[in-house]
């Protein structure tokens, strides 16, 4: 407990007082349309960039939850953009995906002004954020293959997607979440009703023949999961990676024996 409190204190001090953190950059017109940027100490040359969508069970997500990741990756000469988004009940999944897309668009179109390399942008999400990020990426690919769709960023601008401890097939997770306290009625409200589960289940959607062209646009996808994760079972990442491989996407799942839902996030 003492170690955890010390870590929280150190990360909190870095978040609020470090000159390497720029908090609350506006990317849209909604109340939660803000992002934080974490900068390396060195300012020489354009830096690779990670756009990160935090977790929080679609209810308590907040950009500051990415402060430890931001600090760790910035120490490795990477700029990190932690993107905030509306939570339930302020918004439902369609609003979360819309916010994430706007945040990613801001990063793709503006990160060069902050010293980032627009040709080396990576997308990452953790837990619910991994689900939101995957939905956003696939929705963007579908938009790009549609006629008359206006877009402000492109899937081709994302070098790779990294999903940490995410769930990608909602049909497989409804009962699991219910048993763990995220009750079915609440979860379905978050996901815009049972009729929307397919639309927000990337694993299901990529198997639809109508999305074949969109799926071909997806970047390499790497999914990480702990085998002792009881919040979202590791099979969620394993099954999604296998499905992606079957439809021609470069994808893999990496499982960590004995690691829990938050272990991977804390040791990135």
Point out the residues that are catalytic.
Answer: 127, 229, 261
Q: Is 189 helix (H, G, I), strand (E, B) or coil?
A: helix
Residue 134 is given by DSSP the state H
The count of other CB atoms within 10 Å of the CB of residue 106 is 21
Task: List the strands of the sheet with 221-226, edge to edge.
Answer: 21-26, 34-38, 79-83, 47-53, 116-126, 158-164, 221-226, 251-256
Compute CA distances 248 → 55, 193, 208, 213, 267, whole Å.
28, 30, 13, 11, 31
Compute CA distances 238 → 36, 86, 113, 234, whole Å.
31, 28, 38, 6
Kind of pairing, strands 47-53 and 79-83?
Answer: parallel
Look at the alpha carbons of 63, 34, 74, 110 in this order and tell me if their dihedral is positive or negative: positive
Contacts of 185 (CB under 8 A, 6+ apart): none
Residue 232 is given by DSSP the state S
């Amino acid at each position: 407990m003492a170690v955890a409190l010390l870590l929280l204190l150190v990360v909190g001090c870095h978040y609020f007082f470090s000159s390497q953190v720029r908090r609350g950059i506006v990317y849209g017109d909604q109340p939660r349309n803000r992002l934080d940027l974490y900068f390396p100490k060195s300012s020489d040359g354009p830096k690779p960039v990670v756009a990160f969508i935090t977790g929080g069970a679609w209810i308590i997500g907040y950009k500051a939850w990415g402060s430890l990741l931001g600090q760790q990756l910035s120490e490795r000469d990477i700029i990190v953009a932690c993107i905030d988004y509306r939570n339930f009940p302020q918004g439902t999944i369609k609003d979360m995906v819309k916010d994430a897309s706007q945040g990613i668009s801001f990063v793709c179109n503006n990160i060069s002004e902050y010293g980032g390399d627009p040709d080396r942008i990576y997308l990452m999400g953790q837990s619910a954020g991994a689900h939101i990020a995957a939905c956003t990426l696939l929705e963007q690919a579908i938009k790009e293959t549609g006629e008359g769709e206006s877009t402000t960023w492109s899937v081709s601008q994302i070098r790779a997607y990294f999903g940490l401890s995410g769930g990608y097939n909602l049909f497989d997770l409804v009962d699991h979440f219910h048993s763990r306290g995220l009750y079915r009625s609440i979860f379905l409200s978050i996901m815009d009703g049972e009729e929307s589960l397919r639309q927000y289940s990337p694993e299901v959607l990529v198997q639809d023949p109508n999305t074949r062209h969109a799926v071909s646009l997806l970047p390499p996808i790497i999914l990480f999961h702990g085998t002792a994760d009881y919040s979202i079972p590791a099979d969620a990442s394993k099954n999604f990676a296998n499905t992606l491989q079957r439809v021609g996407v470069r994808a893999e799942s990496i499982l960590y024996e004995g690691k829990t839902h938050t272990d991977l996030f804390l040791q990135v």
